[in-house]
């Protein structure tokens, strides 16, 4: 058995970090940061998602490089979808 087994302490730590992130995002939403409210909320969400992917989904310890290629490709295609759609909709009123 060569599969990596994470320690209980690591799992509890990630769990606490995710709960703290949830609390932080609720508190941050109540503070007026102007346009940065969305930036802060999405940054916290992305940090939480990254913790889940790396540690709960074991991507940090995977031997299979193709798994990482699949994840990066999926995110890249998602970025194309969002970026090009918004590039269209945000510039329609330009004259």
State whether residue 35 is helix, strand or coil. coil
Cβ partners under 8 Å of residue 55, min gap 6: 6, 10, 11, 14
Q: How far is the CB of 74 from another protein (least distance, A)?
A: 4
And the tokens for 74?
């999926």
- Which residue in 36, 39, 45, 61 binds another protein (CB under 8 A)? 45
Q: How far is the CB of 94 from another protein (least distance, A)?
A: 14
- Which residue in 19, 61, 87, 91 binds another protein (CB under 8 A)? 19
And the tokens for 58?
């074991």
- Which residue in 9, 64, 87, 91 binds another protein (CB under 8 A)? 64
């Amino acid at each position: 058995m060569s599969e990596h087994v994470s320690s209980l302490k690591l799992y509890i730590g990630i769990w606490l970090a995710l709960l703290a992130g949830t609390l932080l995002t609720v508190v941050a939403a109540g503070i007026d940061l102007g346009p940065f409210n969305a930036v802060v909320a999405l940054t916290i969400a992305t940090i939480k998602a990254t913790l889940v992917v790396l540690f709960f989904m074991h991507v940090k310890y995977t031997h299979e490089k193709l798994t990482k290629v699949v994840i990066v490709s999926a995110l890249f295609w998602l970025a194309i979808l969002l970026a090009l759609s918004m590039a269209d909709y945000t510039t329609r009123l330009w004259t």
